[in-house]
Amino acid sequence: MSVVFYIIAALSVAGALAAVLLKNTVHCALALTVAFAGLALMFLELDAQFAGFAQILVYIGAVAILVVFAILLTRGSETPKDGVYSHSPWVGLVLAAGVFAVLGWAVLHSASFLPHETTQPTVTVMDIGNALMNRYVLPLEIVALLLTAALIGAVIVAMHDKATQDGPTSDKEGAR
């Protein structure tokens, strides 16, 4: 365990905590970006360069931007007057704490059985490309189909419906 791991872990956890605790929704999205960046650094620390850069491209480059767009389109940056938490937040908090307690107990009690390879894996991007084109070609095609379906589905879901039009202000949202 190096010092770098502790710094990155603290960054990720702090970003995640800020993302779920802050009142302003835009600040939450920015904190989420910090958490994503921390996780990408953790992937790089784990010698998974390709997954780390994919994380940066997909999450910081696309998902975080999409979240900010959705927040601004739904005017979610205005903090509601009656609080940002649901009527019974204790149920969720107790559930989450229970899940963390069980997971932490399981990890700590199985620490001696966990695999512990010290050799660094020497995986190049060429190996990943070869694996994607040979052994994992069917999942790759399925993911391509899924992404196409999600693209069309998201456009159709968010497309402007003329029948339910209730004002000219929603025209800009339909252009998304």
Partner 1 sequence: MNPTFNPLTGYLLVAALLFAIGLAGALTRRNAILVLIGIELMLNAANLNLIAFWRYGPHPEALTGMMFAIFSIAVAAAEAAVGLGLVIQIHRHAHTTDLDAMNRMKG
Q: Which of residues 31-90 bind partner 1 (CB under 8 A)?
A: 32, 35-36, 39, 42-43, 46-48, 50-51, 54-55, 58-59, 62-63, 66-67, 69-71, 73-74, 76, 80, 83-87, 89
Closest to partner 1 by CB, 114 vs 168, is: 114
Q: Which of residues 111-170 bind partner 1 (CB under 8 A)?
A: 111-112, 114-117, 121, 123, 127-128, 131-132, 136, 139, 143, 146-147, 149-151, 153-155, 157-158, 164, 170
Of 7, 99, 125, 133, the residue at the interface with partner 1 (CB under 8 A) is: 99
Of the candidates 58, 41, 50, the residue with the CA atom closest to the CA atom of residue 127: 50
Of 5, 133, 137, 172, the residue at the interface with partner 1 (CB under 8 A) is: 5
- Expressed in angstroms, the distance from the first to the final Cα of the chain is 45
Question: With binding defined as CB under 8 A, does residue 4 bind partner 1?
Answer: no
Residue 74 has what DSSP assignment? T
10-15: long-range contacts, CB 8 A cutoff, minimum separation 24: 11/37, 11/38, 11/41, 12/38, 12/39, 12/42, 13/38
**Distance between CA atoms of residues 90 and 97, nearest Å:** 10
